[in-house]
Chains A and B, each alone.
Chain A
């Protein structure tokens, strides 16, 4: 197996004066859509929002759909606790996002693109709109029939789920849809839609700039390329860092920990908690623990009961309430760990609660309810004493 080590990379925020995004667009549009799709598939790029679907395939499926109207949507509804990389990308290099969207529009045959920005980032709206106006004008000057529009969210975590996002853009409650059909077939306005995370779109622009070969030289066979990590919690260096995928968590902790880390929550509230004894064996990537980039470090002064309690409060509030397993499940998990803590329920009750999360994993309608099992089981199993006493 390839053994990777922590390595900093600078692709996302790098600004190549000799080859700015608009020039990348000009050069890329000289190629055929099929050639661009092949390049994306060859690069091995997988979605950077957390789910990790191969980007090239998503574009290909949407291109293959027969429809006069198609859409490209940039998911900027970054709401996973511990994640803030998209905000920085939107703030610092939005031109790369626009370029990725325009390339995608050309590939799939879409004339409209939308950026769905979470309401918590409304302070970015003004500068983003100015830069977007300039970019849209550049497209017009080149007679490229593609326009990008901005849309705001209104403070609902679940709208980061792609079908809930479409519902919200269509003026409805942000309740996830049944799948299939998938967005590539019926997304926004029930038309074929590519929806990509902010960071993913920037990588598509970068792959067009430097070629798939250079991109896939980074990372491992399962996790090509690099990724932007949001580092917070008990760390000496909070902030965002672009790192090569495939490193052991131990490397990460040596670099960012405060020498007292007892656990890392990889992938935000809906991710996995890794205790110290597993730092060496845990790979950060799709072959190990995949992540949307959230890395929260907890040192020995922290109570993992409080951490889990915070997460469950979060899910209870953010569950859209549409499906029973998630709506009732989240509430019962929260009440359940409180009851065990107070001694109203025996410690063995935690096993029942774990079974409940597994039921949610099967029965909940969307990723929100399905993923509550990740933090719950990994925290309860590794820090049982802290949860009980």
Chain B
């Protein structure tokens, strides 16, 4: 078995092989790999005795279950109204310049993917962004850049 197949097998052992286990298993793969590769989705389909198309169809419904490769760190900047009113556009612009990639893209060193997200639930402290699961409210352009630099330092 390949590394991915092994990992999916472990997840299936942990969460079970019923259809109800599909989301926790897919979430487990994304937590490790940041996205669902074709290999991973086929492995999940085999473990759960589902069609690969069914797994793919489910995964593509959910924003947080990516099916295209993502960077080691996924940044999601909230774009909904309250954050919009509090200058999320400037935060996005600063991050695009800092990372040298546009929204929706991954940096060439594969360390960051920059995305936008619908309401993250911090409307009283916008603008806000998630880096992986961690939340950073009350952003300024300066703060956003420092946070990204900190992730770069940690990964070096």
Q: Which residues of A contact B (CB under 8 A)?
A: 78-84, 86-87, 118-123, 125, 151-157, 168-175, 189, 230-234, 238-240, 269, 294, 296, 302, 306-307, 310-311, 314, 317-318, 320
Return chain B residues, CB-CB under 8 Å to A79. 118-119, 121
State how many angstroms separate the Cβ of B119 from the closest Cβ of chain A.
4
* B92 CB-CB contact with A under 8 Å: no
Q: A171-B23, A232-B124 are in contact. Are A302 and B82 (CB under 8 A)?
A: no
> How far is A87 from B130 in the complex, measured between Cα atoms in Å?
15
Q: A151-B23, A307-B81 are in contact. Are A296 and B123 (CB under 8 A)?
A: yes
Closest 6 pairs between A and B when the two form their complex, measured CB to CB: A171-B22, A155-B63, A238-B124, A232-B123, A154-B62, A155-B64
Return chain A residues, CB-CB under 8 Å to B117. 120, 155
The winner among A118, A122, A174, A269 for most chain B CB atoms within 10 A is A122
Q: A122-B133, A310-B81 are in contact. Are A156 and B123 (CB under 8 A)?
A: no
Choose from A172, A233, A296, A317 the contact partner of B118 (Cβ within 8 Å). A317
State how many angstroms separate the Cβ of B24 from the closest Cβ of chain A.
7
The reply to whether A155 and B62 contact each other, CB–CB distance below 8 Å, is: yes
The reply to whether A238 and B125 contact each other, CB–CB distance below 8 Å, is: yes
Q: List 5 A-B contacts (CB under 8 A).
A: A80-B119, A119-B27, A157-B118, A169-B23, A238-B125
* B122 CB-CB contact with A under 8 Å: yes
State how many angstroms separate the Cβ of B138 from the closest Cβ of chain A.
10
Q: A79-B118, A172-B58 are in contact. Are A84 and B81 (CB under 8 A)?
A: no
The reply to whether A230 and B123 contact each other, CB–CB distance below 8 Å, is: yes
The reply to whether A120 and B84 contact each other, CB–CB distance below 8 Å, is: no
State how many angstroms separate the Cβ of B51 from the closest Cβ of chain A.
13
In the complex formed, the residue of A with least CB distance to B58 is A173
State how many angstroms separate the Cβ of B62 from the closest Cβ of chain A.
4
> How far is A157 from B58 in the complex, measured between Cα atoms in Å?
15
Choose from B21, B26, B63, B121 the contact partner of A78 (Cβ within 8 Å). B121
The reply to whether A120 and B85 contact each other, CB–CB distance below 8 Å, is: no
The reply to whether B80 and A174 contact each other, CB–CB distance below 8 Å, is: no
In the complex formed, the residue of A with least CB distance to B123 is A232
> How far is A65 from B81 in the complex, measured between Cα atoms in Å?
42
> How far is A119 from B117 in the complex, measured between Cα atoms in Å?
12
User: Which residues of B (69-90) have their CB < 8 Å from a CB of A?
Assistant: 80-82, 84-85
> How far is A30 from B80 in the complex, measured between Cα atoms in Å?
47
The reply to whether A81 and B27 contact each other, CB–CB distance below 8 Å, is: no
The reply to whether B118 and A123 contact each other, CB–CB distance below 8 Å, is: no
> How far is A82 from B66 in the complex, measured between Cα atoms in Å?
26
The reply to whether B121 and A154 contact each other, CB–CB distance below 8 Å, is: no
> How far is A121 from B21 in the complex, measured between Cα atoms in Å?
20
Return chain A residues, CB-CB under 8 Å to B65. 154-155
The winner among B58, B80, B123, B125 for most chain A CB atoms within 10 A is B123
In the complex formed, the residue of A with least CB distance to B57 is A173
The reply to whether B23 and A233 contact each other, CB–CB distance below 8 Å, is: no
The reply to whether A84 and B124 contact each other, CB–CB distance below 8 Å, is: yes
Choose from B81, B120, B133 the contact partner of A296 (Cβ within 8 Å). B81
The reply to whether B121 and A121 contact each other, CB–CB distance below 8 Å, is: yes
The reply to whether B24 and A151 contact each other, CB–CB distance below 8 Å, is: yes
Return chain B residues, CB-CB under 8 Å to A154. 23, 26-27, 62-65
